[in-house]
Chains A and B, each alone.
Chain A
């Protein structure tokens, strides 16, 4: 059976679906928002693709980002990491040994020195750039999935 036929059941499911629940589920686990909306084939593919992308990122020594006040782009990178949902906790823990989002601002802070050293150990890895690209792309993909789930739930898209 083609997946188009499978997804034809979606409009009925969509009519009783909340856009905000769909968005939350999409954030919680890649593809879960689409599964909730009855798009099961798409949900499975999105889950697989984002999971593979994220796993390659972690396995290639990609690092979760930390917010640093003096570097505005770190806000965007951290937001992008957060968009991957709870999966971000895994990469964050593997990178820093704890769940941390902000780099302490004072230079002499021993916690800051520890976090920077953990980050540097990742940056020294040959595959760090690949891993970071995979991790950030997984987050960006999940942002698109959240928006797509919202559009489907509100009837703007099939």
Chain B
């Protein structure tokens, strides 16, 4: 199956973003906005956290 951590992150973020867009919004434009903001935030924040955690564990 998908072994790439980044690809898993992208797929997971996309599915969660689509799910919440349809759960919380009725207007198609609002849904697209939520998908972009939520999905993008999940990916970008994950990369930032990964970057910050990169030096750990400190030796």
Taking Cβ atoms with an 8 Å cutoff, the residues of A that contact B are 2-4, 7, 41-42, 45-46, 49-50, 52-53, 56, 59-61, 126-127, 130-131, 133-134, 137, 141, 144-145, 148, 158
Chain B residues with Cβ under 8 A from A131's Cβ? 1
Dominant secondary structure at the B interface:
helix
Dominant secondary structure at the A interface:
helix
Q: Which of B16, B22, B26 has the most CB of A within 10 A?
A: B22
- Inter-chain contact B1/A148, CB cutoff 8 Å: no
Beta-carbon contacts of B16-59 to A below 8 Å, as 1s and 0s? 10110011001110000000000000000000000000000000
- Inter-chain contact B19/A127, CB cutoff 8 Å: no
Q: Choose one: A4, A60, A145; the contact of B2 (CB below 8 Å).
A: A60
Q: Choose one: A4, A56, A133; the contact of B28 (CB below 8 Å).
A: A4
- Inter-chain contact B2/A141, CB cutoff 8 Å: no
Given the interface pairs A4-B28, A158-B26, the reply to whether A141 lies near B3 with Cβ below 8 Å is no
- Inter-chain contact B1/A49, CB cutoff 8 Å: no
- Inter-chain contact B12/A4, CB cutoff 8 Å: no
Chain B residues with Cβ under 8 A from A144's Cβ? 23
Q: Which of A41, A50, A56, A145 has the most CB of B within 10 A?
A: A56
30 A-B pairs with C-beta separation under 8 A: A2-B28, A4-B26, A4-B27, A4-B28, A7-B26, A41-B22, A42-B23, A45-B18, A45-B19, A46-B19, A46-B23, A49-B18, A49-B19, A50-B19, A52-B15, A56-B2, A59-B1, A60-B1, A61-B1, A126-B3, A127-B3, A130-B1, A130-B2, A137-B12, A137-B15, A137-B16, A141-B19, A144-B23, A145-B23, A148-B23
